[in-house]
Amino acid sequence: MKLLVLRLSKMIGIDTNILTRTFLEDDEVQAKTAQNFLKNHVNHKIFISSYAILEFAWVLKVKKFTRQEIYGAIINLIDNSGFIIGHQDIIISAAEKYIKGKADFADYMIISEGETNSVNNFVSFDKEIVQEIKSASYP
């Protein structure tokens, strides 16, 4: 299978489907293509958007991965020196909350981004996340 490449700059950005196919290996052709792409570009910086990480976490949840497995997958991406992670500080903060909490990774992304932007009040219909925020020591 051939990948479509749109040249935007010197850094290479990858979509969520490259992450998921590489990690899940659930489509043999796409997984091999994605893995070969990453191997062939090991000397390049690869940009992964925070939104791609958010979507990646959601896909893993849908595929019934545990919180620990999802957390580990996110941390492995962050720890890979070949990757530049968009809003890495927010991703790390959200991952640390996620592994300790009960809400979805997306909720912790929203909370962590809010903290980064000095949000000191949080409004939601989601009683569980509001209760968790009340009982947690979030700044």
pLDDT on residue 128 = 84
User: CB-based burial of residue 62 (10 Å sphere; 0-12 exposed, 13-18 middle, 19+ buried)?
Assistant: exposed
Residue 50 near residue 85 (C-beta atoms within 8 A)? yes
Q: Please state, rounded to an integer, the average pLDDT across all residues of the chain.
A: 92
Share of the chain above pLDDT 90, in %: 73
Average pLDDT over residues 119-129: 88
pLDDT on residue 122 = 85
**pTM score of the predicted model:** 0.87
The encoded tokens of residue 30 equal 């796409």
Domains, the chain, in order of start with CATH, read 12-135 (3.40.50)
Q: How far apart are CA 85 and CA 101, in angstroms?
A: 23
Taking only the tens place, the pLDDT of each residue in 90-107 is 999 999 999 999 999 999
DSSP string, 56-121: HHHHHHHTT--HHHHHHHHHHHHH-TTEEETTHHHHHHHHHHHHHSSS-HHHHHHHHHHHHTT---
The helix/strand/coil state of 139 is coil
